[in-house]
Amino acid sequence: QSALTQPASVSGSPGQSITISCTGTTNDVGGYNYVSWYQQHPDKAPKLVIYDVNYRPSGVSSRFSGSKSGNTASLTISGLQAEDEADYYCSSYTNDNTLEVFGGGTKLTVL
Amino acid sequence: EVQVLESGGGLVQPGGSLRLSCAASGFTFSSYAMSWVRQAPGKGLEWVSGISGSGGTTHYADSVRGRFIISRDNSKNTLYLQMNSLRAEDTAVYHCAKPTSGFTSQDYWGQGTLVTVSS
């Protein structure tokens, strides 16, 4: 199965908003509303920040939001803060023989 | 408090076997599917395998199908991953993860256990 496609890196200044894209196919992102986004700081376990396209788990800042259009999902972080600097991964349910597919990850740099 | 704690990683030769365990607490273990997700050094996340709450349904990534076996013991609140015919490309930190519901959207992760396949 092919990984979902994410940009390798994005950057923004404190206070700004950034958007990370995640492109799949009709077999995964485009076909189901089961897209998740994870934040991972160095040497830490991933943390779920968005699930089912646009739902935030309890305790996750409202600065994080998700959306989807066709085969592309997006994570937007508004009011960028230094602590947001991390790697971000998207994932989606997939209808092939596997179950879940991840994107290659995007490194967010807060300038 | 939900906790998942992996164990069983280590150094193994190519072609060898290893069994990982994940001890879960703080939630009704049998009510949730569970997954294994791995991360090779300096690389991204890769979903490896998932199992339903009852253990009756299992799923595998193409890269491990036929070599890895996922199982669970709901009486012990423990998830397992039996890894056979290990290859150098299986070297990674293996995380146990619990979903919000269904099989995907993992809301609790363990810190992981490192598996190194090398001669």
| Phi, psi (degrees; rounded to nearest 5) at B63 | -70, -15
Q: Tell me the per-residue pLDDT of B78-102, one tens digit each, with 9 for 90 and over.
A: 999 999 999 999 999 999 999 988 8
Spell out the residues 6+ positions from residue B76 whose beta carbon is closer than 8 angstroms to its own. Answer: B23
CA dihedral A88, A93, A98, A104 (to 10 degrees): -20
Q: Across residues B41-64, what is the average pLDDT?
A: 94
Sign of CA dihedral A79, A83, A89, A93: negative
- Chain B contact present for A15, CB below 8 A: no
Q: How many interchain CB pairs under 8 A, A with B? A: 74
β-pairing, A9-12 vs A106-110, is parallel
- Chain B contact present for A34, CB below 8 A: yes
Both structure tokens of B106: 């993992």
Q: Tell me the per-residue pLDDT of B4-18, one tens digit each, with 9 for 90 and over.
A: 999 999 999 999 999
B39: Cα within 13 Å, side-chain hemisphere: 26
Among chain B residues, CA nearest to A5: B44
